[in-house]
Amino acid sequence: MTEQMTRRTLLTATAATLAAPALVPAAASAAPRVPSAVRELEDRIREAMELYAVPGVAFGLRYRGREYVRGFGVTSIADPSPVDGDTTVFRVASTTKTFTGTAAMRLVERGRLDLDRRVRAYLPGFRTSDPAASARVTVRQLLNHSAGWLGDYLLDTGSDDAALARYVAEMHRVPQLTPPGEVFSYNNAAISVAGRVIEVVTGRTYEQAVEDLLLEPLGLRRSGFDITRIPGARMAVPHVIDEAGNLVAQPERWSVPRSVNPAGGLISSARDQLRWARFHLGDGGRLLSRRSLHAMRSHPGPGGTLFVELDGAGVTWMLRPTAEGPTVVQHGGDWDGQHSGFLMVPERDFALTVLTNSDTGPALLDDLFIGDWALSRFAGVHNLPAVVRPVADLAGYAGSYTLQQIGFDGELVSLVLEIVADRGMLSVRVDGVEQMRLGFYRRDYAVVHLPDGTPTTQRVNFVRGRGGEVDWLRFGGRLLRRGGVAPLRTAGTLPFRLNPWI
């Protein structure tokens, strides 16, 4: 079922719920005075929902030792029910990766897994299209996004318990882009391979292993991979933009291939996501040692950009530098009609998670998770500065760049960008139409601008090969090959946030 929605009808549908129940601290039955910063966050969410036409949002916040959870708007414009922070569940997409990484660390502590052993120690027949890379890649490289093969491999291999094993068996078709361990490239496929390693080590399905190792002992009762098995859960129905530009509710978009569950299949509530943050900010209790928690968010692999600048990835956590020094530990996720953000600043005991049920959600999330406002208001830190200046000689960056993905049907899809120098910036074009502009703030690093020259909060960078020439553009964490081949099938125009890629 689909239902069209214009901004006017969205505002009518959500008017009552936007003014409904007062925000409730997570750890108290009687609400104390809510800090002004928390009220500001609520106001920003309301304003962004109206500005971007987002039907439903839930958030969880840890700030100054207290926790706050709240929902806004409706679960569906077709059948409106109020969103709350407890029973309303969203597809958190790529934040699932942090559950995969944490499950792996539990197995490390039990002596059943070694992150620095080669993948073939656990999956003897494992191979991608590159025999040498297949033999060398380690479990750690799976988890820090440096495995080096094409990461957006989304093949649907069925819904039975052997789906993940079949997916990994088909990895031989996946192109190797860079040698293992050398370059950061966001890699959904690598995390699914890590999920298969967890299956082999535990003798359980991935989903059951995560439930046994994490969800059950942590009391995350509104989290799981099958909404029918989550007591009392109400779906935050996905909403997408149709060809006429209308927002429509499409519950069928909720489905995720089981083969990519380790990379993005988890369903969860705002309160459970905040409990997840509390666990990672704490001492691990009886579940995981403080040392292992710290290891997950330190010693990153290769760095680069994933919408913001990164020091690199630890064990599935993205590690983001700040001007003041404390590290931001971050993730988030994107699926059709389901977009979320999640970040922590452990040194400041701060965490924020925001869940949305619409493809209009990323604009709201960008305001809170890529820009400076939330970090500065709640944790007193800021992004590294990015002062854009015109560059005279840009010839070394110009050329065609190819982005590739293997879809649910196993077909390779490509998108070719043409990048040309234009008035001290780079103009990024698809089929001759400018999609964005790139303004450099330091060598190889640029801020994304809209075609009219308006800067956004997002950053990209170019990657040089061993000979010193630019070989790749890293956009949204993915590598686009310079001088790549013409597309086998076009993927359409380039969005500023890649989705439904998890």
The catalytic residues are 94
> Cα–Cα distance between 141 and 134 in angstroms, integer?
12
Contacts of 96 (CB under 8 A, 6+ apart): 261, 262, 263, 264, 265, 266, 333, 502
Report the distance separating Cα 114 and Cα 345, nearest Å.
28
Nearest CA among 220, 235, 221 for reference residue 90: 235
Maximum distance among all Cα pairs of the chain, rounded to whole angstroms: 63
Task: Please choose, from the candidates 183, 193, 403, 192, the residue with its C-alpha nearest in 3D space to the C-alpha of residue 312.
Answer: 183
State how far the alpha carbon of 125 is from the alpha carbons of 133, 159, 418, 424, in Å. 13, 22, 39, 50
Whole-angstrom CA distances from 491 to 436, 445, 499 are 17, 25, 11
Helix (H) or strand (E) segment spanning residue 479? strand 478-482
**Residue 351 · residue 278 · CB < 8 Å:** yes
Say which residues have a Cβ less than 8 Å from residue 278's Cβ, sequence separation at least 6.
62, 67, 351
Which of 26, 29, 55, 61 minimizes the C-alpha distance to 42?
61
- In angstroms, the CA 441 to CA 351 distance is 29
Gap between the terminal Cα atoms of the chain: 24
Structure letter (DSSP) for residue 470: E
